[in-house]
Amino acid sequence: MTILERIDELRKERGWSVNNLALEAMLTQSTLNNLYMRNAEPKLSTLRALCGAFGITLAQFFAFEEEGETDGELNRRIAALTDEQKEALLVILRSFK
């Protein structure tokens, strides 16, 4: 999976358009459009902004290659939750012993 494919995967999990992602990451839409049109890898500062919008770290962004299928899906789904949903999930997880 390429970096752009990973960005698309995370974007689509959240139901965001490219414009929504640009707004969430506080980037211009032309910045993202240029990445896609040129099939280029983003600068580190752009990737950090994108990770911030997704609510994940750079390490989590690149961890998809190292995780097992179940762990990867779980991490992606958790990252896509709102803060309120994460808190609710944490309450549920704490109930398991």
- What does the pLDDT average to over 69-82? 75
Burial class of residue 25 (count of CB atoms within 10 Å of its CB; 0-12, 13-18, 19+): buried
Q: Residues 30-61: pLDDT tens digits? A: 999 999 899 888 999 999 999 999 999 988 88
If we measure between CA atoms, which residue out of 78, 84, 86 comes closest to residue 60? 78
> Would you place residue 68 in the very low, low, confident or very high pLDDT band (cuts 50, 70, 90)?
low
Please check the confidence at residue 64 and state whether its pLDDT lies above 70: no
d(CA 50, CA 58): 9
Taking the model in full, what pTM does it have? 0.67
* Contact call for residues 3 and 47 (beta carbons, < 8 A): yes
